[in-house]
């Protein structure tokens, strides 16, 4: 019995290590914008910001609609997460990359 428990714990630890080493597919590098001038960076930041605001409004509405399901799940002892979806994470990463590119180019 102890060998089975040890095997399960070891397998779980190895699986979590493997998951942590993966590069997120929604990461956006500042290098993607190295050929942009300050005006282009500014326009892309504004466009990305608008898209991000829209995604967050949609997510807020989904969270409100999912509240009843969450309350039911919690009452049954299940966990619930309202984390960002992949597209929202990608947009946040893109905005941060644009911000970094603007800093590197000394944009106002």
**3-12, 33-42, 53-62, 86-95: least confidently modelled range:** 3-12
How many structural domains compose the chain?
A: 1
Q: Which pTM does this prediction carry?
A: 0.60
- State the Cα–Cα distance between residues 36 and 97, nearest whole angstrom: 12
- Give the pLDDT of residue 46: 95
Residue 51 lies in domain:
2-104
Please name the helix (run of DSSP H) or strand (run of DSSP E) that holds residue 91, with its range, or none: helix 86-104
């Amino acid at each position: 019995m102890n060998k089975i428990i040890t095997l399960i714990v070891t397998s779980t630890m190895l699986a979590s290590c493997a998951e942590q080493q993966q590069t997120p597919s929604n990461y956006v590098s500042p290098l993607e914008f190295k050929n942009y001038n300050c005006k282009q960076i500014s326009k892309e930041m504004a466009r990305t910001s608008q898209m991000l605001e829209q995604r967050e409004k949609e997510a807020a509405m989904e969270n409100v609609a999912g509240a009843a399901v969450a309350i039911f799940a919690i009452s049954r002892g299940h966990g619930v997460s309202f984390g960002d979806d992949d597209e929202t994470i990608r947009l946040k990463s893109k905005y941060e990359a644009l911000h970094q590119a603007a800093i590197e180019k000394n944009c106002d």
